[in-house]
Amino acid sequence: MSRETVVASRYARALFEIAGQEGRTLELEQELQALVKVMCVDHEIQSFILSPNISAEAKWNAIGIGLEGKLSQPIISLAKLLIERGRTGILPEVLNSYTKITGDALGLADALVYSTYSLNEKEKQEVAKEFGTLVGKKIRVINEVDKELLGGIKVKIGDTVYDGSLSGKLERLEKSFRRQAL
């Protein structure tokens, strides 16, 4: 485990404890996702934050104004702390750690579902129910369209991939034929 992962895990654990005390665990997770989008995906903001020519105080003065009133105090405090310590680069890892901690504590798991088209809410609920039974957790579905799939879906929960795609089935069938030919 890298040093950044360990540090990010500590920040995530502290944020989780605060969120638990306030009874807002999932709400803070959503706010943390929004913060990552703002600070790590927007290239202009990221360049500004990473600039060595701008002081941490000036960075916070500019960023803090934009965040005030939009995010709760624990998330704003985390953002300020990361800017002051020059550690905004670990923010995505903080989110990953926080999501894992929250999932473990609340019996939740995120399922990344690849499909040939965007799933509607009913289909997402069916996937969540089916895989929730399989893994013994409540599933949160994150759907991504993958045009390379011929049909079906591919589901990734943690490190496990469940391949129910047509291309996956064809690949397994081809391997089966090869084994039989030998």
- Domain regions of the chain by residue span: 3-103, 110-181
Looking at the chain, how many residues does it have? Answer: 182
Give the separation between CA 43 and CA 63, rounded to whole angstroms: 14
Task: Give mean pLDDT, residues 33-51.
Answer: 86
- Across 13-20, average pLDDT: 95
Element (H, E) at 170: helix 166-181
Taking the whole predicted model, whether its pTM rises above 0.85 is answered as: no
Q: At 148, is the secondary structure helix, strand, or coil? A: coil
Q: pLDDT category, 171, cuts 50, 70, 90?
A: confident
Quote the pLDDT of residue 124: 94
The third-level CATH classification (topology) of the domain covering 3-103 is: Peroxidase; domain 1 (1.10.520)
pLDDT surpasses 70 at 2: yes
Per-residue confidence (pLDDT) for residue 181, from 0 to 100: 72
Residue 1 confidence class, pLDDT cut points 50, 70, 90? low
Which pLDDT value is given to residue 73?
93
Q: Which residues of 41-62 are buried (b: 16+ CB within 10 A; e: fewer)?
A: eeeebeeebeeeeeeeeebbee
Contact between 141 and 115 under an 8 Å Cβ cutoff? The reply is no
Q: What is the pLDDT of residues 93-103, one digit of tens each?
A: 999 999 999 99
Could you give the CA distance from residue 23 to residue 45 in angstroms, rounded to a whole number? 31
